[in-house]
Amino acid sequence: MTMRDRRTTDPVVDDQGVEALGLATVLSEASEPIHDALEALEFGLGVGPLAGKTLVATIAFFVTWLIFGVTWRTKELDIRRWFWISLVLGIVGAALMFPPLFQAFASE
């Protein structure tokens, strides 16, 4: 099998990072302890509260990439099915970062 023939799930892995960023955004608004923990991940560099969320999303991306890479390395996958799964995950992840949506979960 050549590299060109290999079916890839890279879009699914990318969407796991987007999904994690959206989830971290919603959880940060919904829970004060999670907000404080994510804010602490900026390490005092003054880059703002997005630093912790981005760090969590980046870690989720690489962990997912490693797991899927090892698990599916030798398997032939249905690219159409994974395209649709990727599309749905991307839309959900992007929607979770939309201010009217994540602010609806804000703790008072």
Q: What is the pLDDT of residues 53-74, one digit of tens each?
A: 888 888 988 998 888 888 877 8
User: What's the rounded Cα separation, in Å, for the pair 108 and 100?
Assistant: 15
> How many CB atoms sit inside 10 A of residue 96's CB?
20
Residues 64, 13 contacting (CB under 8 angstroms): yes
Query: Is pLDDT of 2 > 70?
Result: no
User: 10-58, pLDDT tens digit by residue?
Assistant: 666 767 888 888 888 888 888 889 888 888 888 777 777 788 888 888 8
